[in-house]
Structure 1
């Protein structure tokens, strides 16, 4: 556990559901530069149990009451996707910095509506694409930026597994639920194509953009056979890199996630693990200059804690944004909408021509 610094960002967590229990409460208590100042949830039984476990300074049943606390500096939005944008807007209007779980929004218009709010209130908004804080992916990014030269092609895949939940249950804390929890008006899992794209595709798209840059257009196909949904997406990047993405839910094998990148002065091959193992990706970087492969150990694999520390550094020290910013969040939503539109029409779709929901 990192040694706490003298100046700690005072963070409130909105929502006491699974992602808060599995990731964000612990991140706030362990982060070197942040503290769990407050938690908020409308479900009294759930909130009180989480307060007893994680010991925030304050707890709130009302979100506006938490935002009115003058000592609160930032909010982690750990709610259902449908609540992300209104919760982020209210926090920024109250002058609080925001770390919002991915996806930023469920439609292009919702995502873009946050631009003016963030600018008007002078606050930081970071999107919770925590894979950017995986030490293996960070090593790959440094090699791509500093040494690889021209990138030629990127292939990336995110394949959830039918065995994922027994494996996850073995390593996660016991998830506490409440019949009083607030739920979206529509069941997010009623449309599984949309649900899987938002839940898993958002990670895949962000990793591709993080490595290869802006996406201009996509040409996507979707197969739904034997209870397996498989998206194959050909990607046109702005810099001319060839791209291919594979999102499959769920493969009849172990969790299968990773990427291959081919470049002028070397290549990168990455294997990423189920995130709840908190194990850094195994990333092999081949340098043509010395004909050798290098791999960073990445002993600290707590991506969620490292994500929060990066967020806090931006606010407290004015450091560069290593995480996904507002524009990254908007671009990911655009890419997911374009993929859905390409599947529907059977044609390539440009990102600058899409609108509406995922």
Structure 2
């Protein structure tokens, strides 16, 4: 049984497409400290179907009308990447808190403009890097923070699988779609390197930053063969840690994601599962002080619900934001732009120097 808190954040979701259906609608229904107050979509048939299924208090066909509702306290932006920044900025200007799907934007200029809008608004903005709410990764981060001492090296990989849809189609409901859905101009998959970096590389970069802190410089190579894309990225962190990031789409094997992290007082080995399995990462933490391993169970693997609850705690209770904030989102954009520029030039690229788009 789901037990709800007495005071709950009233949330409006923009967009009723697949990511909302697979993640955010369910998260709002299940979150202990948030409610699905409103949904908004330009497609009337899709809006009606989701309203009948999830029974929000209000439905809107017009985004500005939802933002004008004083009872909407926060908005989840669950639409295409091209709409993230403008829709988030309109919500902030209307005085709403924002939880926005990743990536927060597609260019450094967009990220900087959104950061400035957040600072002007006085409202909270959290980026949907839900892997920060994976209990296994949280346990790893806690060990890094509290016991690991100086970090030496990180090896992290995010390898999508040719069999991912065979797996996910078996566990996900068929998404409800509409011919009236509003889509950005152009084909987001026209440039697959950019598309894969934004969709998958953003997760890999944020996980690396979550564990090891600020990335200062990258040197990247890209190989494309038989329809597959593979980035190897040498990574320098501000704390002196060396990194190697592997982004491959798609490997001819099962989903392959995880990391190894070596430090002064221990090491961590992690295996991460396809997020739609809602399964916490398997994490083995070795502590040098007593030469023992421990492996957190992490039974609660609903990352999307957990990220919404963390967001609501920050808004309602003034708790520190546990998720990625707008500065984290901007740093991810800078890292992805730097990787793309390094691939083109063959040189190392400092994140502080980059401009332009991914």
What TM-score, normalized by structure 1, do the two folds share?
0.99
Counterpart in the other structure of 2:298: 298
Separation (CA, whole Å) in 1 of partners of 2:119 and 2:297: 39
Quote how far apart the aligned CAs of 1:2 are.
3.8
Can you give the 5+ residue segments of structure 2 that lack an aligned partner in the other structure? none
Task: Report the aligned-residue RMSD.
Answer: 0.6
Secondary structure in structure 2 of the residue aligned to 1:188: coil
Separation (CA, whole Å) in 2 of partners of 1:17 and 1:250: 24
Superposed CA offset, 1:313-358 (max 9, x none) = 0001111111000100000000000000000111111111111111
Counterpart in the other structure of 2:42: 42
The residue correspondences of 1:116-135 to structure 2 (distance < 5 A) are 116-135=116-135
Tell me, yes or no, if structure 1 residue 182 matches structure 2 residue 195: no
Counterpart in the other structure of 2:154: 154
Counterpart in the other structure of 2:314: 314
Tell me, yes or no, if structure 1 residue 90 matches structure 2 residue 77: no
Quote how far apart the aligned CAs of 1:116 are.
2.1
Separation (CA, whole Å) in 2 of partners of 1:203 and 1:39: 26
Separation (CA, whole Å) in 2 of partners of 1:111 and 1:219: 22
Can you give the 5+ residue segments of structure 1 that lack an aligned partner in the other structure? none
Superposed CA offset, 1:253-278 (max 9, x none) = 00000000000000000000000000
Aligned length: 358
Separation (CA, whole Å) in 1 of partners of 2:74 and 2:174: 27
Counterpart in the other structure of 1:278: 278
Counterpart in the other structure of 1:4: 4
Separation (CA, whole Å) in 2 of partners of 1:185 and 1:46: 20
Counterpart in the other structure of 2:211: 211
Counterpart in the other structure of 2:196: 196
Structure 1 ranges of 4+ moved more than 3 A: none
Separation (CA, whole Å) in 2 of partners of 1:28 and 1:226: 41
Separation (CA, whole Å) in 2 of partners of 1:93 and 1:245: 37
Superposed CA offset, 1:69-96 (max 9, x none) = 0000000000000000000000000000
Separation (CA, whole Å) in 2 of partners of 1:340 and 1:55: 43
Secondary structure in structure 1 of the residue aligned to 2:189: helix
